[in-house]
Structure 1
Amino acid sequence: MEKELVLVTGGSGFIAVHIILKLLNQGYRVRATLRTMSRQDEVKAMLTQGGITDFSKLEFIQTDLTSDRNWIEAVDRAEYVIHVASPTPATRPKDGDEMVKMAVEGTLRVMKAAKAAGVKRVVLTSASGAVIAGNKAHSGLFTEEDWTNLTGNIDAYQRSKTMAERAAWEFAKKENIELSAVNPVAVMGPILGKDYSHSNQIIKAMLTGKMPYLLKIGFDCVDVRDVADLHLLAMTRTEALGERFLATSGENLTYKQEAEILQKSLGSAAKKVSTKEMPDFFIKVLALFKKDLRMPATFLGQNTACSNAKAKKLLGWQPRSAEEAIIATAKSMIDLGLTEE
Structure 2
Amino acid sequence: MPDKTTVPLTGASGFIAKHIALQLLEAGYTVRGSLRSMNRASEVTDAVRPHLTDPAGLDERLTFVELDLLADKGWDEALQGVDTLVHTASPFPISQPRDENDLIRPAVDGTLRALRAAKAAGVNRVILTSSIVSVLEQDGVPDGKLFDETDWSDVESPTISAYSKSKTLAERAAWDFVRDEAPGMQLTAINPGMVLGPPLDRHFGSSLGLLQRLVGSKDPALPNIGLLCVDVRDIAAMHVRAIGTEDSIGHRFIGSAGFLWMPEIADVVAAQFPDRKIVTRRAPNWLVRLLGLFDNEIKAAVPLLGRKRLVDNARAKEVLGMEFIPADEAVRAGAAYIVENDLV
Q: Deviations over 1:27-48 (max 9, x none)?
A: 1010000001101111122113
Structure 2: how far apart are the matches of 1:300 and 1:170?
33
Sort the Cα spacing of 1:192 and 1:92 in 2 relative to 1 into closer, same or farther, 3 A.
farther
Pair 1:312 & 2:317 matched:
yes
TM-score (normalised: structure 2):
0.93
Pair 1:301 & 2:306 matched:
yes
Sort the Cα spacing of 1:289 and 1:91 in 2 relative to 1 into closer, same or farther, 3 A.
closer
Using the TM superposition, name which of 55-64 and 285-294 deviates more.
Answer: 285-294
Structure 2: how far apart are the matches of 1:211 and 1:272?
12
Partner of 2:123: 119
Structure 2: how far apart are the matches of 1:93 and 1:235?
34
Using the TM superposition, name which of 127-136 and 294-303 deviates more.
Answer: 294-303
Find the residue that maps to 1:38 and give its secondary structure.
helix
Identity of aligned residues (%): 37
Contact conserved, 2:188 with 2:249, CA < 8 A, in 1? yes
Using the TM superposition, name which of 32-41 and 188-197 deviates more.
Answer: 188-197
Pair 1:151 & 2:156 matched:
yes
Partner of 1:14: 15
Find the residue that maps to 1:298 and give its secondary structure.
helix
Sort the Cα spacing of 1:255 and 1:197 in 2 relative to 1 into closer, same or farther, 3 A.
farther
Contact conserved, 1:103 with 1:161, CA < 8 A, in 2? yes
1:94: Cα distance to partner?
4.7
Structure 2: how far apart are the matches of 1:302 and 1:215?
11
Q: Deviations over 1:136-176 (max 9, x none)?
A: 42442211111111122111000000000000000111211
Sort the Cα spacing of 1:307 and 1:301 in 2 relative to 1 into closer, same or farther, 3 A.
same
Q: Deviations over 1:76-132 (max 9, x none)?
A: 122211110001115986521231111111000000111111112101100001011
Find the residue that maps to 1:318 and give its secondary structure.
coil
Q: How many residues align?
A: 335
Structure 2: how far apart are the matches of 1:72 and 1:151?
34
Sort the Cα spacing of 1:114 and 1:161 in 2 relative to 1 into closer, same or farther, 3 A.
same
Alignment of 1:1-341 (within 5 A): 4-51=5-52, 53-54=55-56, 55=58, 56-90=60-94, 94-138=98-142, 139-152=144-157, 153-174=159-180, 175-176=182-183, 177-196=185-204, 198-249=206-257, 251-268=258-275, 271-339=276-344
Find the residue that maps to 1:320 and give its secondary structure.
coil
Structure 1: how far apart are the matches of 2:150 and 2:46?
39
1:199: Cα distance to partner?
4.7
Find the residue that maps to 1:7 and give its secondary structure.
strand
Instruction: Could you tell me which runs of 5 or more consecutive residues in structure 1 were left unpaired when the two chains were aligned.
Output: none
TM-score (normalised: structure 1):
0.94
Sort the Cα spacing of 1:3 and 1:67 in 2 relative to 1 into closer, same or farther, 3 A.
closer
Letter in 1 for 2:212: K
Using the TM superposition, name which of 231-240 and 45-54 deviates more.
Answer: 45-54
Show structure 1 runs of 4+ deviating over 6 A.
none
Structure 1: how far apart are the matches of 2:323 and 2:205?
22
Q: Deviations over 1:275-297 (max 9, x none)?
A: 11111111111111111122222
Letter in 1 for 2:125: R
Structure 2: how far apart are the matches of 1:184 and 1:8?
17
Structure 1: how far apart are the matches of 2:301 and 2:206?
11
